[in-house]
Amino acid sequence: MLYNLALLAGLVLLAPYYAIRILVTGKYRASIGQKLGRIPRGLISSLEGRPRIWVHAVSVGEVTAAAPIVAALRGRLPGACIFLTTGTETGQAMAKRLVPQATACAYFPLDLPWVVGPVIEKIAPDIVVLTETELWPNFLGHCSRRAIPVVMVNGRVSPRSFRRYSRTSFFWKKVLGTVREIGVISGVDADRIRALGAAPGNVRVMGNAKYDSLASRVSGEDWSRKAAQLKMTADSRVLVAGSTHEGEEAVVLDVYRGLLREFPDLRLVLVPRHPERGAAVRDLAAQKGHACILMSEIRAGREPQARARRRRRDRRALCPLQPRHRGLLRRKPRAEGRPEHPRAGRLGEGGLLRAFHGGLRRREGPVGRSGGRYLREGRQGASRQDEGNPVGSRRAAAPRGRGPEAGPVEPRRRRAICGDGRQGVRAKG
Is 62 among the catalytic positions? yes
Catalytic residue among 48, 62, 246, 405: 62
In this structure, which amino acid lies at residue 171? F
**HSE-CB for 393 with a 13 A CA cutoff:** 10
Selection from 200, 202, 187 nearest residue 157 by Cα: 187
The enclosing H or E element of 297 equals: helix 295-299
Judge contact between 341 and 425, C-beta under 8 A.
Answer: no
The answer to whether the CB of 82 falls within 8 A of the CB of 101 is yes
Query: Taking a C-beta distance cutoff of 8 angstroms, is the pair 267, 317 a contact?
Result: yes
Distance CA 211, CA 382 (A): 10
Name the 3-class secondary structure at 258. Answer: helix
Number of C-beta neighbours around residue 112 at 10 A: 18
DSSP, res 412: H
8 A C-beta contact, residue 326 and residue 344: no
Contacts of 58 (CB under 8 A, 6+ apart): 86, 87, 88, 91, 108, 131, 132, 134
Q: How far apart are CA 405 and CA 386, in angstroms?
A: 26
Helices (H), 80-219: 89-98, 113-123, 137-145, 159-166, 169-176, 187-195, 209-217
Active site residues: 62
